[in-house]
């Protein structure tokens, strides 16, 4: 029986390269994305490499809580075992704010809240089919000590963050909203790992791990879709060549194939089967390392968790780690 892995945003960039590598290792990849046409092309590409049964696609709009619930219900109805989830999909806006169908700032809604609900709704399947893994794609931009060219993370309270992507009502900075969402990814990863452990859902013989992955700077990814045309050209066509050349010396900058292969390793590596609550960044060539001090603040992680439960409308019984 094939092992199934769900990859959000797996139809392009790092997600697609991760999917291709997982399929080559015998896993069946389920690509979940709002762009069904692009997903179908990705499935055909993966099938040409690894066989017709190596990939499939499903429609998923992470900006709609109703759509996420419908997706989880459809996936469960298929009766396929689920062995891994890769929370890879992400977006960044150049202007805004843009709001989701549920009224949340869309960077927060897609990059964090949608994945938060999706994982909860699929957690019972992962427990049933363990050993299983959850991998959350974050970013080094969350760390204020790193020189990334991005604003430093700035969160005042979760309600304001969910409304504006930043710390102040009525203000929007798309780059800051993205940085803050990547910080939320780490708060979610660490708190999820702690709660799974406390609930006894991960055992020595049937481990369920949760880890965070940081791909580095990856020119050519879809994050530049909102950039002005000139900058988008540089991002898509000029910088990838530079990244290939400098990666051996500066591992924090790479290409989608390089980072996608490393992401697949976090999903597959037998040595990581019982590692949970860890962070694997590009600057260490994806060896375990500490993320920023703020990202490890347990009080902040609990605050985000509690607020996310309310915003997602998570109900008792929908998740094995939420009793109301």
Output the pLDDT for position 242.
Answer: 58
**Confidence grade of residue 228 (pLDDT, cut at 50, 70, 90):** low
pLDDT reading at 72 higher than 90: yes
Helix residue spans in the chain (DSSP H):
13-24, 36-50, 65-77, 106-108, 115-128, 158-164, 174-198, 229-233, 239-246, 256-268, 298-312
| Lowest-pLDDT choice from 45-54, 132-141, 230-239 | 230-239
Query: Given this model, what pLDDT does residue 235 score?
Result: 45
Position 279 scores a pLDDT of 98
In the chain the domains, ranked by start, together with CATH numbers, are 3-312 (3.40.50.720)
* Inter-residue contact 105 to 162 (CB < 8 Å): yes
Per-residue pLDDT, averaged over 194-222, amounts to 89
The pLDDT tens digits of the residues spanning 99-112 come to: 999 999 999 999 99
* pLDDT band per the 50, 70, 90 thresholds, residue 256: confident
The two three-digit tokens of residue 273, written as one number: 């089967």
Question: For 143-162, what is the mean pLDDT?
Answer: 94
What is the SS3 assignment for 67? Answer: helix
* Distance separating alpha carbons of residues 73 and 119, to the nearest angstrom: 13
The rounded distance, in Å, linking the Cα atoms of 161 and 97 is: 11
Express each pLDDT in 84-94 by its tens digit: 999 999 999 98
Active-site residue set: 178
What's the mean per-residue pLDDT of the chain? 91
The mean per-residue pLDDT over the stretch 257-283 comes to: 95
Tell me: pLDDT of 123 over 70. Answer: yes
Q: What is the DSSP string of 113-161?
A: IIHHHHHHHHHHHHHHT-SEEEEEE--GGG-TTS--SSPPP--S-HHHH
pTM for the complete prediction?
0.93
Fill in the DSSP letter of residue 85: E
Neighbouring C-alpha atoms within 13 Å toward the C-beta of 14: 30
- Dihedral of alpha carbons 13, 15, 18, 19, sign: negative
Apex 279 CA angle, 126 and 281, nearest 5: 125
* Position 178 pLDDT exceeds 60: yes
Q: Give 217's DSSP letter.
A: B
pLDDT of amino acid 166: 97
């Amino acid at each position: 029986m094939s092992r199934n892995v769900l990859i959000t945003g797996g139809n392009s960039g790092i997600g697609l390269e991760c999917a291709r590598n997982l399929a080559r290792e015998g896993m069946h990849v389920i690509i979940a994305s709002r762009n069904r046409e692009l997903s179908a092309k990705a499935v055909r590409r993966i099938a040409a490499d690894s066989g017709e049964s190596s990939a499939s696609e499903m429609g998923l709009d992470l900006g709609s809580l109703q759509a996420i619930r419908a997706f989880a219900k459809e996936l469960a109805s298929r009766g396929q075992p689920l062995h891994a989830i890769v929370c890879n999909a992400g977006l960044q806006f150049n202007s805004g704010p843009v709001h989701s169908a549920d009224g949340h700032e869309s960077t927060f809604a897609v990059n964090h809240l949608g994945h938060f609900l999706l994982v909860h709704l699929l957690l019972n399947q992962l427990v049933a089919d363990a050993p299983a893994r959850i991998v959350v794609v974050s970013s080094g931009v969350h760390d204020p000590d790193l020189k990334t060219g991005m604003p430093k993370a700035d969160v005042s309270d979760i309600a304001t963050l969910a409304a504006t992507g930043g710390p102040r009502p009525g203000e929007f900075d798309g780059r800051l909203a993205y940085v803050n969402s990547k910080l939320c990814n780490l708060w979610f990863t660490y708190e999820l790992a702690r709660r799974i452990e406390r609930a006894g859902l991960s055992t020595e013989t049937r481990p369920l791990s949760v880890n965070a992955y940081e791909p580095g700077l990856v020119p050519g990814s879809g994050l530049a879709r909102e950039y002005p045309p000139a900058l988008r050209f540089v991002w898509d066509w000029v910088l990838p060549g530079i990244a290939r050349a400098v990666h051996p010396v500066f591992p924090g900058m790479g290409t989608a194939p390089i980072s996608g292969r490393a992401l697949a390793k976090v999903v597959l590596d037998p040595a990581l089967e019982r590692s949970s609550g860890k962070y694997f960044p590009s600057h260490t060539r994806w060896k375990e390392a500490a993320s920023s001090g703020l990202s490890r603040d347990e009080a902040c992680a609990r605050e985000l968790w509690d607020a996310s439960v309310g915003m997602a409308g998570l109900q008792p019984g929908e998740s094995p780690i939420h009793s109301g």
